[in-house]
């Protein structure tokens, strides 16, 4: 087992930046965004977001859009520090040559080289989703997105907390809290969705909870051009299914804590391949397999803990990997990574995952 790398983010830098509200900075090291991308987001040239560009403070959704539209071009690097509550009342469409925005959603469309990071007392996107479309090199860090609906009122982003579609490349979402208050019947959809040729994405140190659907990779059995996605050190809690749903492509799940997956968990189907390492599954049902389809998917498993996990019997379109999950494929991972022991994962994730945790990362110590 390789040692765990310690990468604690500098809280003092965040405090200093919080004092500079409203100031436009042009010094790269002044950014509150911290750390480096991990997982598949390091591939395909890497993910650096707005590094090297100006840093702008925003307290409304309109100000976020304005910052995007005021750039010299749609690819000019920018870091947008966000503080406060972003909602429908303060998020309007802004026009410009370097942006393509819309009211009622944070629209990152046909742009590149952008970081959005929560600072100060925190950033909450309330009933307002973040939509990434035809874009690349995006970082979203230290924000909460909650209660985004696709039906009822108000609606935003098709009901996804964070949604990516149409030729998206290189996105790193880190230390976020994504949550709903129910399932589809209550008006919600997915917390973290990728479709229509979205690739090289990492979700790290985040919380996904209280939703019918955790997220998907591929919108249908024919939408298999997505993939190269890493999930690590995340908490999935009180999720009915899709943790995630993977159609085609490759995904790597390691050191995640899954609690109360009520119907199914990692759903690998339509030829998808999932590498599932050193995760902790707890008080859950059918946490890995091919579900709700006869289009089989595959998995490679190692070092996982199954704590009070129940398994259904196999059927024509329901094939759980358990009760004794075995690998049925081999997945080669192109990047370096360090694994925490599965037994340590619940404690480590509880201390590090989600917005407002000081952007801390694992040091591999259960008792720290």
Measure the CA–CA gap between 129 and 87, rounded to whole angstroms: 9
> Does residue 121 lie in a domain region?
yes
User: What is the residue range of 16's domain?
Assistant: 6-198
Together in a domain, 297 and 228: yes
Give the model confidence (pLDDT) of 28-72 as tens digits: 333 467 799 999 999 999 999 999 999 999 999 999 999 999 999
SS3 for 219?
Answer: coil
Res 365: pLDDT = 83
Give which of 191, 187, 195, 189 is closest to 206, Cα–Cα: 191
Mean pLDDT on 77-88: 98
Lowest mean pLDDT among 8-22, 257-271, 276-290: 8-22
Tokens 């917390």 belong to 191
> Does residue 360 lie in a domain region?
no
Together in a domain, 119 and 31: yes
Together in a domain, 69 and 143: yes
Together in a domain, 310 and 175: no
Together in a domain, 44 and 191: yes
When comparing pLDDT for 12 and 328, which is higher? Answer: 328
Quote the mean pLDDT of the chain. Answer: 92
Among 147, 163, 198, give the residue marking a domain's end. Answer: 198
Contact of 225 with 197, CB cutoff 8 Å: yes
Share of the chain above pLDDT 70, in %: 91
- CA 367 distance to own-chain centroid: 27
When comparing pLDDT for 16 and 347, which is higher? Answer: 347
For the annotated catalytic residues, the residue numbers are: 242
Together in a domain, 89 and 116: yes
- CA 16 distance to own-chain centroid: 27
Residue 287 φ/ψ, nearest 5 degrees: -80, -10
Together in a domain, 24 and 154: yes
Among 198, 233, 253, give the residue marking a domain's end. Answer: 198
CATH of the domain at 320: 2.160.20.10
Q: Name the β-bridge partners of 146.
A: 126, 179
Residue 41 φ/ψ, nearest 5 degrees: -65, -10
> Does residue 335 lie in a domain region?
yes
> Does residue 362 lie in a domain region?
no
Together in a domain, 68 and 152: yes
Together in a domain, 155 and 230: no
> Does residue 236 lie in a domain region?
yes
Together in a domain, 183 and 264: no
pTM: 0.92
Q: At 12, is the pLDDT very low, low, confident or very high (cuts 50, 70, 90)?
A: very low
Lowest mean pLDDT among 17-31, 149-163, 334-348: 17-31
> Does residue 203 lie in a domain region?
no
Measure the CA–CA gap between 232 and 227, rounded to whole angstroms: 15
Number of domains in the chain: 2
Q: Is the pLDDT of residue 205 over 50?
A: yes
Measure the CA–CA gap between 29 and 2, rounded to whole angstroms: 31
Res 218: pLDDT = 97
Q: At 241, is the pLDDT very low, low, confident or very high (cuts 50, 70, 90)?
A: very high
Share of the chain above pLDDT 90, in %: 89
The b/e string for 256-269 (b: 16+ C-beta within 10 A; e otherwise) is: bbbbebebbbbbbb
Res 111: pLDDT = 98
Mean pLDDT on 84-93: 98
Among 198, 227, 254, give the residue marking a domain's end. Answer: 198
Together in a domain, 161 and 256: no
């Amino acid at each position: 087992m390789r040692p765990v790398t310690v990468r604690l983010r500098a809280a003092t830098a965040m405090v200093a930046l919080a004092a500079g509200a409203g100031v436009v900075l042009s010094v790269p090291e002044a950014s509150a965004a911290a750390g480096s991308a991990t997982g598949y987001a390091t591939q395909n040239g890497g993910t650096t977001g707005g590094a090297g560009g100006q840093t702008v403070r925003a307290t409304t959704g309109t100000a976020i859009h304005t910052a995007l539209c005021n750039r010299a071009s749609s690819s000019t690097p920018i870091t947008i520090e966000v503080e406060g509550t972003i909602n429908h009342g303060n998020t309007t469409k802004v026009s410009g040559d370097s942006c393509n925005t819309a009211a009622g959603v944070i629209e990152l469309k046909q742009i590149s080289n952008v970081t959005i990071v929560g600072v100060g007392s925190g950033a909450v996107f309330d009933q307002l989703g973040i939509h990434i479309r035809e874009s690349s090199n995006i970082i979203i860090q230290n924000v909460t997105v909650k209660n985004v609906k696709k039906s009822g009122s108000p609606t935003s982003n098709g009901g996804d907390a964070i949604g990516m579609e149409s030729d998206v490349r290189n996105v790193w979402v880190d230390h976020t809290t994504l949550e709903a208050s129910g399932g589809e019947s209550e008006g919600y959809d997915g917390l973290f969705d990728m479709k229509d040729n979205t690739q090289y994405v990492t979700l790290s140190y985040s919380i996904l909870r209280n939703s019918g659907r955790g997220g998907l990779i591929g919108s249908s059995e024919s939408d298999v051009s997505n993939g190269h996605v890493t999930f690590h050190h995340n908490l999935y809690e009180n999720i009915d299914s899709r943790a995630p749903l993977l159609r085609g492509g490759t995904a790597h799940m390691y050191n995640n804590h899954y609690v109360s997956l009520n119907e199914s968990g990692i759903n690998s189907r339509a030829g998808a391949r999932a590498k599932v390492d050193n995760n902790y599954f707890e008080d859950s049902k059918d946490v890995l397999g091919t579900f709700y389809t006869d289009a089989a998917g595959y998995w490679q498993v190692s070092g996982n803990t199954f704590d009070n996990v129940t398994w259904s019997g196999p059927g024509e379109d329901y094939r759980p990997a358990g009760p004794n999950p075995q690998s049925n494929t081999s997945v080669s991972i192109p990047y370096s990574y360090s694994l925490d022991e599965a037994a340590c994962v619940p404690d480590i994730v509880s201390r590090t995952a989600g917005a407002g945790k000081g952007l801390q990362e694992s040091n591999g110590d259960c008792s720290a």
